[in-house]
Amino acid sequence: MVKALTCFDPSIAANDNCRKLRIRKLLTTLEEHRHISSLLADQAEKQFHLICSESALQEELKAFSCHTQRVDQFWSHLFKRYPNTDAIQSVMEMVMIFFHGNSNVERGFSVNKECVVDNMKEETLIAQRLVYDGVMDHGKDIGNMDISKSLIHSYKNARSRLTEETKKREREDLENKVHKSKKRKLYLEKKELEFKIAKIKENATKEVEALTEEINSLNNTKL
């Protein structure tokens, strides 16, 4: 199956005969192990051959470099340009998960470690990761990123959102302090009452002991 998986290597995908043999082997293996249905296998095979046979795409497949590009990102960007490729996308995502396991998660932790600084808020880390992932999705080519109106609007309102979030945090901090203060006060009052109860019990015990001794003394008195 590992060899069959190389059908997604752009240099292999550019070779008509090799591509057909390996994608068929891959889909047959997945179907035999009941990971996909025969219908999905047929659709995926047709879609894969259809896009790889495009003359305009052949040059991109041959120009792919494993040293500067990632296979998953290459196909992800490619599928966005071609409609009706849901079947082959589904198969590709499945086999990528099979062979990479938790590599994306582990890579994500590695990126997070590089981003984190002392006293960083969780929201800041999330925001930085969103920016990082957005840049990576565009192949690190920031110059060709689509600057949408919503992105510009979000940028313009960033300061007001920061001010609002800061005020919200200040209110939450104040509420937490008040809550902790009340909780501390109740705790101290409870401890004081418990101390009084213990003191009363101690004094009562002493009085009982004194009265008991007095009774015993009277009992031992000879008439």
82-131 per-position pLDDT tens digit: 878 889 888 888 887 765 544 444 455 455 555 555 566 666 766 776 77
Say whether pLDDT at 140 is over 80: no
* Mean pLDDT for the stretch of residues 183-190: 92
CB contact at 8 A, 93 and 76: no
- Is the pLDDT at 7 greater than 50? The verdict is yes
Burial (Cβ within 10 Å: 0-12, 13-18, ≥19) of residue 92:
buried
Mean pLDDT of 77-82: 83
Give me the pLDDT at residue 192, please: 93
Q: What is the pLDDT of residue 197?
A: 94
User: Which residues, at least 6 apart from 48, have a Cβ–Cβ distance to it below 8 Å?
Assistant: 7, 13, 19, 23, 88
Look at the chain and count its residues. 223
Give the residue among 4, 118, 136, 144 at the shortest CA–CA distance from 70.
136
How crowded is residue 48: how many other Cβ atoms within 10 Å of its Cβ? 24
At residue 111, the pLDDT reads: 52
Residue 64 confidence (pLDDT): 82
| Highest averaged pLDDT of the listed ranges 8-12, 24-28, 110-114 | 24-28
Q: How far apart are CA 55 and CA 49, in angstroms?
A: 12
For residues 132 and 171, the model is more confident at: 171
Is pLDDT at 195 greater than 90 in this prediction? Answer: yes
Neighbours of 38 (CB within 10 A): 10
Does the pLDDT value for residue 158 go beyond 70? yes
Give buried/exposed letters for 14-36 (b at 16+ CB in 10 A, else e). bbeeebeebbeebbebbbeeeeb
Q: Residue 14: its pLDDT value, please?
A: 85
The angle at the Cα of 45, spanning 101 to 63, to the nearest 5 degrees, equals: 75
Contact 61, 13 (CB under 8 A): yes
Which of these ranges, 8-17, 66-75, 105-114, 182-191, has the smallest mean pLDDT?
105-114
pLDDT (tens digit per residue) in 36-58: 888 898 999 999 998 888 887 88
Complete DSSP assignment for 17-54: HHHHHHHHHHHHHHHHTTSS-HHHHHHHHHHHHHHHT-
Cβ 27 vs Cβ 88: under 8 Å = no
Instruction: Tell me what pLDDT residue 19 has.
Output: 86
Residue 69 pLDDT level (bands cut at 50, 70, 90): confident
* DSSP one-letter code for 128: H
191: pLDDT confidence band, cut at 50, 70 and 90?
very high
Residue where the block lists tokens 């995926």:
44
Say whether pLDDT at 80 is over 70: yes
Q: Are 129 and 120 in contact (CB under 8 A)?
A: no
- How far apart are the C-alpha atoms of 101 and 97, rounded to whole Å? 5
